[in-house]
Structure 1
């Protein structure tokens, strides 16, 4: 069928990713046909999945973009061609995205998103939470024995509950920070014509369905609209009224898929430099005078978006804890003695590449103990940083801060909050934060974050979350000040803004703790602020017991599920089953026979990593030529200049204000005192 340009606009968007947000699945005896369409249901794409060979997955992307009429003709043609073998049938289910493909011991399966929920809005782009998925066999339906290996693999795979804390967006790249997304222009410097966007620079570290997508699609960085990256972690958004101005705060936590696992089973760092419980936390603060990231003449020119990013992760040494003795606090063991700290070097080089310099390490583990546990790691960690620092240029060295937060919180003469706020202010001065826009007033000048605060305790849960909250609170004050909302970067604890911000970070900490440790936070900000300490003791005990139970009885199954879902373990004929492995060490570390040559033990970093953020943006790359500023006649989400309105503002539908997500967003209104009703009993005189 002849390809037609069905989009009547001033631009040719064929070089851009075609966004699809709803799908229909049709089946014949030999093939599945997945039909994807955009928000306005004006254009359609077709994906073919062959069903005849259970061991080989054949997925074919049809490059043709069809109109609705052409799509109907194509389906009729397929139906007529298969009439002798049963025809063409619509599979009765709603589909909102393809999670990927997976195979265990028999045939292949497709995983689809069948329910979703809007949880956030960024620059006109919706963020969705997965509420329901469905596993569909590619081959012909065969009854699976409930006691078979296949049935056990399916059960293990589904132990990763995709309906808990998995998020996606059709039009916004959730795997990268706002700073990365808003400092990349699709325009060329010469001629200012749209450049051919042949790839999408997803951050592989945070694409949790990477293995599942790779099974069906050869190039995950292609322009294919079928590829929908999922992040795993936390997402929350709140609307705050400050002196009548509408401010939206968004909190995002992205969990790394590298060296991922449960608390006691994944500790420290692997030999590739990836640490356990690696989480990137980003807070985006925006003034919602206008929604879009873009201004009238500049891509990403809206000066009302700010963000700050911080990092948590296990101590980057090779260490573990023996859980076989059922102790609630197993002893800590350093498993490898490496005088060159090679794994830690790889980890910090990765941080330099991701965030730039300086890297500020805030180590909150115990420094002095009667029975040495945490302090063993503290001494080794300090030696690692000292060793690595001696080869770095002075202005690029890692700043190491070791502070026994547990001891300080029990002491009557130490101000935990005050000390952490001081560190936060110093960090903010060193790293700065991201502020979008060009050519804006001096006090709100365009800035970029250089460097990151890396926080850890032993589990990177309770103490870490409290420290990250105080860093976030400090950043929030600076972000509001930069937006011109408040007259000083200082904000008080007991204010509506900080109240809702505290709730967001508490939910953030609880979610990360459940994912890694199996329970909610044991110690909250109330503990460290020494508020309601007596009422918090029973909760602390319950959560400690929950965490111990999860670690002792369910973590092994959770680890198996993660290894299977992420493709760390792939079923092969003749190899042991997943549950028969004595250890998953070889799944997360390189085979010594295949290891590449180490960096020089002194020049352990690359110059490129040290200067990864040292570049200036050319405003010319972000200037929209006048001819492109004319609104498109029939825009859709694929339009890089106007498409951001199409998902949120559905022009062709009657929409009530009550149904709009932004109107119903959680906010500070609940902190307002109840209205005083004159004439009520409470207001009557004696």
Structure 2
């Protein structure tokens, strides 16, 4: 392994037709030179010194190598070309990546990119993901790991070896470099782990004592995706939208540095369920009663217990109406689990906090205390020795693990932080952080920023009700913004999130080129109908707005016909809403879209264009009417109808 566990903090990249040469710019030590041949296989080697240059090379500054990815026809290098410092921990700078470069490895790859539409599409997905995701990294501090986990690490090990593989977002793109390192050529210092999430540090002062307050969210690369296109658990026990959030305080400097940190997690309900988009505001809710459910749920919680110790589940899903079946399925799964280290609590958030009385969440905290959760159960270290370790974690979820979840997590964070600040001698006994308005403002806004970032990654918009989180008051502007966010979520989730899901699958390796890309298989009439609707609406508008003339009666007839065509085409589209949602194309979720097995369904809306969908075993029973499929499944003894 390399002589240093840190990665290089920058390079001069020399680009020639023959190779890419990365010359580290780190000062004060002998540097290695990374050479990548621009042949089809992109052979990698490490040189002791920079070869003689030919003056043909283009030179650019690079601040990190995200990795290598192969698209439809060519492999590419993905590089960080601009960064912004966002803080410092343990003497190591923390950075946010702000600009990127994607470089084709084969020297003749550019013509193929221009000629190949699939390659252009995949390249567009890659670049969209790079510029829409908040990526953070450090050359010496392991951002993928909590402070407590870092205590058990071998500090001399390379950063990529120490990284928590769940949050090592570019692990898939780093595979080529890791395999080369494991085969003998040590590329450890060129492998730069990054996280996808949130990171904010604030320099604060209370009672004359300065300290750093920080919050970091690490998004899991497993089962990564968007709202509606990624829900529930998979057979490996990984859940959608899993985030580990770590709130920390650092006081003192150098050998006198004192740290306290607290971990919480969030993640989708760990059963097989989905919401199937159909252009309606509320999609069809689907809970799939699969034989592997119990094993997948058990595996998920085994991993949670192994990573965090005791696991306190907080379920915020509504116990009435549309969400109730998800709550019931979760409770059945936990009851069948029989894991003594998993403790379940249900909290009817909307009922208990009716009227925006979020302060009532403290009643939930008191209930958790009654089940064994302790206010002093967090990580603390002074210098090099851990004075205490966190032995339990609260795993919170609502339907999306976004808005309600963030309110509960911030309340738990405040509860713990009061004790941590007293331990650090920053607060006196009986004093609360809420009593210090400046810091209370910082605390609220950091958690609101955290809510927005986690929500945007999953739903495409910021979180709801963050005006209350930031100010403690509900405002007209905040209510209006929530309305805008709700409409934006609907539009994005139905018409734009398919490509976002594709980008996640491409970057994390959930899809690889060998799987191929599915084209548009819809019937011509189905594809043409939106254009028919648009044209007929334009004709109607022209008929209503154009000045009257001698052909008034003919125009009225044309307008009336256009109204009928518009109504007919609109009905056609809404009845076949499933066909008009922008579904992912790389890993198209056919099983979920057309699921007809046992379980629960809130209805089968917008699926008239799918013959035989309701019962593939006997298409003569199939019907486009939801009430018919309900009767059929009830007759056949399927649960939940």
Q: Which whole-Å CA distance do the structure 2 matches of 1:267 and 1:223 have between them?
A: 37
TM-score, normalised with respect to structure 2: 0.75
Cα pair distance change 1:526/1:489, threshold 3 Å: same
Shift of 1:465: 0.4
Report whether the alignment pairs 1:204 with 2:175. no
Cα pair distance change 1:527/1:223, threshold 3 Å: closer
Q: Which whole-Å CA distance do the structure 1 matches of 2:169 and 2:362 have between them?
A: 38
Aligned with residue 310 of structure 1, among 232, 246, 264: 264
Aligned with residue 68 of structure 2, among 87, 93, 101: 101
Checking the alignment, whether the CA contact within 8 Å between 2:5 and 2:140 is kept in structure 1 is no
Shift of 1:339: 8.3
Report whether the alignment pairs 1:135 with 2:102. yes
Report whether the alignment pairs 1:365 with 2:311. no
Stretch deviating more after TM superposition (219-228 or 516-525): 219-228
Q: Which residue of 2 aligns with 1:234?
A: 198
Q: Which residue of 2 aligns with 1:457?
A: 398
Deviations 1:317-347 (A, max 9, x none): 10001112x1222232111244861111111
Deviations 1:562-606 (A, max 9, x none): 11111111113877579755724799xxxxxxxxxxxxxxxxxxx
Deviations 1:515-556 (A, max 9, x none): 101111122372799723555322221111111111111110
Trace 1:617-628 onto structure 2 (pairs within 5 A): none
Q: Which whole-Å CA distance do the structure 1 matches of 2:65 and 2:85 have between them?
A: 17
Shift of 1:453: 0.2
SS in 2 for 1:436: strand
TM-score, normalised with respect to structure 1: 0.71
Cα pair distance change 1:199/1:553, threshold 3 Å: closer
Checking the alignment, whether the CA contact within 8 Å between 2:441 and 2:470 is kept in structure 1 is no
SS in 2 for 1:206: coil
Cα pair distance change 1:508/1:539, threshold 3 Å: same
Q: Where do 5+ consecutive residues of structure 1 fail to align? A: 1-12, 65-70, 80-86, 187-194, 296-301, 588-686
Shift of 1:271: 1.1
Q: Which whole-Å CA distance do the structure 2 matches of 1:197 and 1:147 have between them?
A: 39
Q: Which whole-Å CA distance do the structure 2 matches of 1:502 and 1:406 have between them?
A: 21
Q: Which whole-Å CA distance do the structure 1 matches of 2:326 and 2:126 have between them?
A: 34
Report whether the alignment pairs 1:418 with 2:362. yes
Q: Which residue of 1 aligns with 2:451?
A: 509
Q: Which whole-Å CA distance do the structure 2 matches of 1:420 and 1:573 have between them?
A: 46
Cα pair distance change 1:374/1:431, threshold 3 Å: farther
Q: Which whole-Å CA distance do the structure 2 matches of 1:556 and 1:166 have between them?
A: 21
Aligned with residue 14 of structure 2, among 13, 26, 30: 26
Checking the alignment, whether the CA contact within 8 Å between 2:265 and 2:393 is kept in structure 1 is yes
Q: Which residue of 1 aligns with 2:343?
A: 399
Q: Which whole-Å CA distance do the structure 2 matches of 1:27 and 1:329 have between them?
A: 51
Stretch deviating more after TM superposition (15-24 or 124-133): 15-24
Cα pair distance change 1:565/1:473, threshold 3 Å: same
Checking the alignment, whether the CA contact within 8 Å between 2:239 and 2:267 is kept in structure 1 is yes
Q: Which whole-Å CA distance do the structure 1 matches of 2:424 and 2:438 have between them?
A: 18
Q: Which residue of 1 aligns with 2:297?
A: 344
SS in 1 for 2:512: coil
Shift of 1:157: 1.6
Structure number with higher relative contact order (C-alpha < 8 Å, ≥ 6 residues apart): 1
Report whether the alignment pairs 1:37 with 2:4. no
Report whether the alignment pairs 1:177 with 2:146. yes
Q: Which whole-Å CA distance do the structure 1 matches of 2:308 and 2:395 have between them?
A: 11
Q: Which residue of 2 aligns with 1:622?
A: none
Q: Which residue of 2 aligns with 1:58?
A: 43
The runs of 4+ residues in structure 1 deviating greater than 6 Å are: 195-199, 220-223, 527-530
Q: Which residue of 2 aligns with 1:286?
A: 250
Deviations 1:455-485 (A, max 9, x none): 0000111000000000111111111111121
Q: Which residue of 2 aligns with 1:375?
A: 324
Checking the alignment, whether the CA contact within 8 Å between 2:134 and 2:197 is kept in structure 1 is yes
Checking the alignment, whether the CA contact within 8 Å between 1:27 and 1:88 is kept in structure 2 is no
Cα pair distance change 1:364/1:525, threshold 3 Å: farther
Q: Which whole-Å CA distance do the structure 2 matches of 1:554 and 1:42 have between them?
A: 48
Cα pair distance change 1:336/1:26, threshold 3 Å: same
Checking the alignment, whether the CA contact within 8 Å between 2:376 and 2:419 is kept in structure 1 is no
Aligned with residue 497 of structure 1, among 439, 444, 449: 439
Q: Which whole-Å CA distance do the structure 1 matches of 2:281 and 2:264 have between them?
A: 30
SS in 2 for 1:174: coil
Cα pair distance change 1:335/1:414, threshold 3 Å: same
Q: Which whole-Å CA distance do the structure 2 matches of 1:272 and 1:340 have between them?
A: 11
SS in 1 for 2:166: helix
Aligned with residue 479 of structure 2, among 534, 537, 552: 537
Q: Where do 5+ consecutive residues of structure 2 fail to align? A: 521-583, 593-641
Report whether the alignment pairs 1:114 with 2:81. yes
